[in-house]
Every structure is written in C-alpha cells, then in structure tokens.
Structure 1
Amino acid sequence: MDSQDKIKLGLAILLVVAGVAGFYLLAADQTVLRVVLFIASLLAAAAVLWQSNMGRSFVVYAQESVAEARKVVWPERKEATQLTLLVFAFVFVLALFMWLVDSSLSWLFYDVLLRRG
C-alpha cells in the first residue's frame, strides 16, 4: 500500500468517525438530520476509498463474487426439503446416542462404582 492509499484510508476512517461523532453530538430530537449526516459520512468515506487501489480491487472482487454466485446451481425445493429432513433426523439420532452414552456413564460411575445411587 503506497502513501497515497494510506492517506485515503485515514481520511475515510476520519469521515466515518466524524459521522458517528456528529450523530451523537446532535440533539436526540433531530433524528432525521442525525441519520442523514451519518449516511452522508459513510458515502463520503466510500467515495474516498473508491479512489484508492484497495477500493478498486474490492470492487473487482465484489463483481467477481457476484459472477460466481450466478454460476451456482441451487437445489430445487423438494431436494432442499429432503436434505433438511435428513439433517434433522441425523441430529435426532446423534442426540439420542449422546443421551444414551451420558446416561450409561452416569449409571456406571454413580451407581456401580461410587455406590451413590
């Protein structure tokens, strides 16, 4: 990251901090103005970041992510329902198994070995 990008990143952070500070420094009854000020500071910070190498690379990354998400083959409703039911059944069986192991170990240690039952 070169010095210009560091300055732009610092400016963007200062803009966000100024927006948050402005939000809390304005009177509570000026809600609309507080929100507009905060959103404006976020937009200004995004505009500053957009001009940096890091911002441009983020935009390229976001565009590539959207392109990859469009390539995904999403399951049909029936398939998603079947997989969800399969997961619920597996969780139920695993919970039952864990309960049996816990109960067996409790019985073994407390009733048989320690004779506290």
Structure 2
Amino acid sequence: MSKEVESSKGNSLDTIKLLASIGVLVATLIGYYTYDQAHAVVRVLGLVAGVLVSLFILYQTAKGKSWFQYLNLAKREVRQVVWPTRPETVQMTLIVFVVVILMGIFLWLIDMFFLWAVKLLTGQG
C-alpha cells in the first residue's frame, strides 16, 4: 500500500516539475519578447539561461530522464553509422544528376510522342 502512495506522490511531483519546466520556458520566451528594448546580448543570455533552467527541471522528472537517455542512445547510434567518403558522395551526386537528366529527356520524348499521337487522332496534325 505504501508503494502505491509513494508512486502517486512521485507521479504528481513529476507532473508539477514538468509543468514548472514548461512554465519557466514560456516565461523565458515571454520575457525575451517583452524586453525588446534591452540589449540583444542580454536578451539572448536570458533566453539561454531560461532554457537551461527549464531543461534542468525537466531532467529531474522520470519522463525527462527517459528523453535524455533516448537522445544519448540516438547520439551513440549516429556515431556508429559508416558515413560515405567525399569521393563517394560526389560520385553518387553526379549519378543522381545524370539519371535525372536522362529521365527528363525520356519523359519529354514520351510527351512528344503522345502529343503527336493525339494530333494524329484528332486530325490536327
């Protein structure tokens, strides 16, 4: 029974922290646009500080920790990708350009054939 009470308290506390994080983020954005007469550096620093505070509060929740864990796993997966070298990228780009040009010519010829056929069938050509 006590585990259920602790779970519901933790869940409601997470909800409060999540709402606080969203509130800080919204207040930061409102402040950024409200104080438009302030120097741009001050406004940007305030925006960055507000976003960092919001992310810190978000990280304190279970859902926030799972989101950050997902981002870390995604970053690890990106590091494992075998990226093509520059010559491979240039070669594939040239192949794509050539295929696009050839397909354009092919479709233009098909269009010209159908135009000739329609003119022939309608008696205009």
**Which interval holds the TM-score relative to the shorter structure?**
0.7 to 0.9
The alpha carbon displacement at 1:116 in A equals: 5.8
Aligned partner of 1:10 among 4, 7, 19: 19
Distance in 2, Cα, partners of 1:34 & 1:59: 27
How is 1:1-117 mapped onto 2 (pairs within 5 angstroms)?
2-109=11-118, 111-114=119-122
Q: 1:103 to 1:31 in 2, by over 3 A?
A: same
Q: 1:11 to 1:106 in 2, by over 3 A?
A: farther
Distance in 1, Cα, partners of 2:35 & 2:102: 56
Q: TM-score, normalised by structure 2?
A: 0.76
Deviations along 1:23-42, one digit per CA (max 9) or x if unpaired, are 11114242222212211111
The alpha carbon displacement at 1:76 in A equals: 2.4
The alpha carbon displacement at 1:86 in A equals: 1.2
What is the one-letter code of the residue matched to 1:22? G
Distance in 2, Cα, partners of 1:27 & 1:60: 36
Q: Return 5+ residue gaps in structure 1 as ranges.
A: none
Q: Return 5+ residue gaps in structure 2 as ranges.
A: 1-10
Identity percentage over the alignment?
Answer: 36
Q: Please give the root-mean-square deviation of Cα atoms over the aligned residues, in Å.
A: 2.1
Deviations along 1:5-47, one digit per CA (max 9) or x if unpaired, are 3222211111111111111111424222221221111111100
Which of the two has higher C-alpha Rg? Answer: 2
Q: TM-score, normalised by structure 1?
A: 0.80
Aligned residues: 115
What is the one-letter code of the residue matched to 2:69? V
Q: 1:30 to 1:99 in 2, by over 3 A?
A: same
